[in-house]
Amino acid sequence: MQYEIIISGFGGQGILFMGKILTYAGLLEGKEITWYPSYGPEQRGGTANVTVILSNKRISSPILNEYNTAITLNQPSLEKFEKTIKSNGTLIYDKYGITKMPTRKDIQIFEIDAINSSIKEGNSKMFNMIILGGLIKVTKIVKIESITNSLKKTIQEYNQKFLSMNQYAILKGMNLIKKIK
Amino acid sequence: MEEIKLLKGNEAIAYAAIRYGVDGYFGYPITPQSEIMETLIKERPWETTGMIVLQAESEIAAINMVYGGAACGKKVMTSSSSPGISLKQEGISYMAGAELPGLIVNVMRGGPGLGTIQPSQADYFQTVKGGGHGDYKIIVLAPNSVQEMADHVALGLNLAFKYKNPAMILSDGVIGQMMEKVILPKQCQRKTEREIRKSYPWATLGKSKSCKPNIITSVELDSFLMEARNLRFQKKYRTIEKNEVLYEEFFCDDVEYLIVAFGSAARISQKAVEIARGIGIKAGLFRPITLYPFPMKKLNSYKEKLKDILVVELNAGQMIEDVKLAVECKIPVKHYGRFGGIVPTPQEILEKIKNEINK
C-alpha cells in the first residue's frame, strides 16, 4: 500500500514542517518515505507545497500527478490540486482559506476551520498542527503516538516546551475536522 | 554505529562526508545545494573528527583549495550547483592534469547562465564530456536517492584515490532537496599523516632527507613528455571504463520498451514503468549509475532485442548521444525532456511511451 499526499498553501504557514512531522512518523513506523518540497522563491509569500509518500515498498517517483489526499489551505491550491485527487480520494480544505467550494463528486471532502481556531486560541503558529491532527483523524495513515514521537524527535533540537502546545493543537484538529461530503 | 535518519539529499552528503573521514570541505553557497555546507557548519566536525569546513571567497577559490588539499594526500571535497560548477572547471581540469583525487558535488539547476534554482540535468555534457580544457575524464556518479547521495561520497572518494582522478557526484535539485530515510555508515577515522605517507607516496607532505621531492603539477612544456603523459591518462581511462561501470535495471528481463534515464529522471521514469506494467505494457528501465564510465557494453546488448529506446532527461537531449553510441545507432533512440527547471510527471512519460508504441 502506498499513500500519496500533497499539502499546499501559502509560504510561511508551516506546510513543509507539517510534512516533515508526518514523514518522520512514517519512518518511525518502519515505512518507506519521501518528502519533496517546492523549494523555489515561492516559499515566502507565494504558494508552497510538499509531497509526502508513505509506502510499504521502495518508492519510485517522489513527484506525482495524482494523490490519495490533497490538503489545500488557500484558493489557488484548491484550484490546482482538487483535480489531481484520485477517485475515492480525500480533500481537506481550510474554511478560512478558500472562497469557492470544491465541486468534485467522486471524492470525500472534509472541512477544517484551522486558521480561525488558531487565532481564537491566541497562537496562529498552531495552525499547521491543527491541520495535521485533522489529517490523521480522517485518513489514519499513521498512529497518533508516531506523530507524538516524531514531534519529540524533531523539535528536540529547538525547544521541548513547544511539544505540549503542538500536541494540544493536534488533538484540537482531530476534533475540529468535519465531513462535508 | 550505523544510524537511520530522515535527511535531505544535501544533508546526507554532509553527514556521509563527516562519517567517511573526509579531511576538508571547501565551498561557496548556492541554491539548491547550500544545505551541504550549512549542515557541515552546524555539525562542527572540526571539534570531533578534525575535518575542516571552510566557506571560501568564491567557487574558484574553493576548487583550488581542493587542489591544494588533494596534493597533500587529503580526502577533500567541494560542492556547488550548475553556475558555480562552471566556475570550477579550470580547477577540475588542473586536478585531472596533475592526477589529483578529490570529490566535487554538483546539485544541478536549470540553465544556461544563472538560469533558475529548480532541478535540471542540463550539465551532463559539461560533466561527462569535459567541462574544462584538455583530453581528460572525471568519474561521474549519478545518485537517484538520498541513500545514494550518502553512499556515493565514499564511492566517489574511493574511486578518486584508486585512479588519482577527480570524481563528481552529479545530482540535481530533486534529489538534493527531497527527504528520505538514510542509513548512515559508521564513523571512520581520518587518515593520519603517517598513514597518508604510506598509502600515497606521491603526496606533498614535506621532504625528508632520504627521499626525492614530490612535485604536483599539470604543466609539461616538452611535448613528447606531455604526449606520453596523455597516453598514460588514456590508458587509465580505459581501465576505468573496463572496471568501474555501474548500472541498475528494472523489469528488463522481458522488456519490450526500454527507458534509459539517470538520477531523478530515473525515479520518475520508474514510476511510469510501474504504471505501464500495470496496464500490460512491457516497459523497463535502465539506469546508468556511473555516467562516466558509461555502461556502453550492457546497453549495446539491447540493440538486438528491442525496436527502439526512449531516453528521458531533464534537458534537451544530452545522454541520448551516449545511448546512440552504445547501440551504434542500430535502433532508433527517442528522447523526452523537460528543461529550465520543469520536472516531468510519471504520467507525461507514460503518455510518451503509449504514443511511441502506437506509432
pLDDT in tens, A78-92: 999 999 999 999 999
B interface test, pick of A23, A60, A86 with most B CB neighbours within 10 Å: A60
pLDDT in tens, A89-132: 999 999 998 999 999 999 999 999 999 999 998 888 899 999 99
pLDDT in tens, B145-201: 999 999 999 999 999 999 999 999 999 999 999 999 999 999 999 999 999 999 999
CB pairs under 8 A between A and B: 68
Instruction: Please give the span between the terminal C-alpha atoms of chain A, in angstroms, as a whole number.
Output: 25
- Region B210-217: mean pLDDT is 88
Among A6, A3, A28, CA closest to A18:
A6
Q: Are B293 and B188 contained in the same domain? A: no
CA distance A139 to chain B (A): 22
Q: Which domain covers residue B127, as residue numbers?
A: 3-193
- Partners of B118 on chain A (C-beta within 8 Å) are 40
Nearest CB neighbour to A27, from listed B6, B270, B345: B6
Nearest CB neighbour to A60, from listed B31, B174, B274: B274
A71 membership: H or E segment, kind and range: strand A67-72
Give the predicted TM-score (pTM) of the model. 0.95
pLDDT in tens, B11-37: 999 999 999 999 999 999 999 999 999
List, in order, residues 6 or more apart from B226 with CB less than 8 Å away. Answer: B220
CA B318 – CA B124 distance, rounded (Å): 6
Does residue B64 sit at the A interface (CB-CB below 8 Å)? no
Domains of chain A: 2-179 (3.40.920.10)
Q: Are B340 and B272 contained in the same domain? A: yes
- For residue A155, what pLDDT band results from cuts at 50, 70 and 90? confident
CA B326 to mean position of chain CA atoms: 20
Q: Are B261 and B354 contained in the same domain? A: yes
- Region B283-288: mean pLDDT is 98
Nearest CB neighbour to B271, from listed A33, A37, A61: A61
Q: Are B29 and B173 contained in the same domain? A: yes
- The pLDDT of residue B206 is 86
CA B80 – CA B89 distance, rounded (Å): 12
CA closest to A33 among chain B residues: B180
Q: Are B14 and B153 contained in the same domain? A: yes
* Strand arrangement, sheet containing B139-141: B52-55, B24-27, B76-80, B102-108, B166-172, B139-141, B290-292
- Domain at B18, CATH number: 3.40.50.970
- Partners of A41 on chain B (C-beta within 8 Å) are 117
Mean pLDDT for all residues in chain B: 96
CB of B171 closer than 8 Å to CB of B108: yes
| Cross-chain residue pair B270–A61, CB shorter than 8 Å | yes
- Partners of A64 on chain B (C-beta within 8 Å) are 271, 345-346
- The pLDDT of residue B314 is 97
| Cross-chain residue pair B345–A27, CB shorter than 8 Å | no
* Strand arrangement, sheet containing A2-10: A178-179, A108-112, A85-94, A67-72, A2-10, A47-55, A32-37, B179-184, B3-8
Q: Are B53 and B177 contained in the same domain? A: yes
Residue at B346 is within a domain: yes
Residue at B210 is within a domain: no
Residue at B222 is within a domain: no
pLDDT in tens, A18-39: 999 999 999 999 999 999 998 7
pLDDT in tens, B312-334: 999 999 999 999 999 999 999 99
Q: Are B124 and B34 contained in the same domain? A: yes
Q: Are B187 and B254 contained in the same domain? A: no
**Backbone φ and ψ of A59, nearest 5°:** -90, 130
- The pLDDT of residue B271 is 96
B interface test, pick of A17, A63, A152 with most B CB neighbours within 10 Å: A63
| Cross-chain residue pair B345–A24, CB shorter than 8 Å | no
- The alpha-carbon radius of gyration of chain B (Å, integer) is 21
- Region B253-262: mean pLDDT is 96
Percent helix, percent strand, percent coil in chain B, to nearest 5: 45, 20, 35
- Domain at B271, CATH number: 3.40.50.920
- Region B64-74: mean pLDDT is 98
Last residue of a domain, one of B151, B166, B193: B193
Percent of residues, chain B, with pLDDT higher than 70 = 100
- Partners of B117 on chain A (C-beta within 8 Å) are 39-41
- For residue A6, what pLDDT band results from cuts at 50, 70 and 90? very high
CA closest to B269 among chain A residues: A61
Last residue of a domain, one of B129, B160, B193: B193
Beta strands B139-141 and B290-292, pairing class: antiparallel
Residue at B126 is within a domain: yes
* B329-335 contacts at long range (C-beta below 8 A, 24 or more positions apart): B330/B303, B331/B302, B331/B303, B331/B306, B331/B307, B332/B307, B332/B308, B333/B308, B333/B309, B334/B308, B334/B309, B334/B310, B335/B310, B335/B311
* pLDDT surpassing 90 at residue B335: yes
pLDDT in tens, B130-150: 899 999 999 999 999 999 999
- The pLDDT of residue A41 is 62
Classify burial at B277, counting beta carbons within 10 Å of its beta carbon; exposed 0-12, middle 13-18, buried 19 or more: middle
Residue at B200 is within a domain: no
List, in order, residues 6 or more apart from A47 with CB less than 8 Å away. Answer: A8, A9, A10, A11, A38, A74, A76, A77, A80
- For residue A156, what pLDDT band results from cuts at 50, 70 and 90? low
- Partners of A40 on chain B (C-beta within 8 Å) are 117-118
CA closest to B348 among chain A residues: A65
* pLDDT surpassing 70 at residue B1: no
Residue at B319 is within a domain: yes
Residue at B22 is within a domain: yes
Residue at B12 is within a domain: yes
- For residue A157, what pLDDT band results from cuts at 50, 70 and 90? low
* pLDDT surpassing 60 at residue B230: yes
Does residue B174 sit at the A interface (CB-CB below 8 Å)? yes
CA distance A82 to chain B (A): 17
Last residue of a domain, one of B193, B226, B260: B193
Name the domain count of chain B: 2
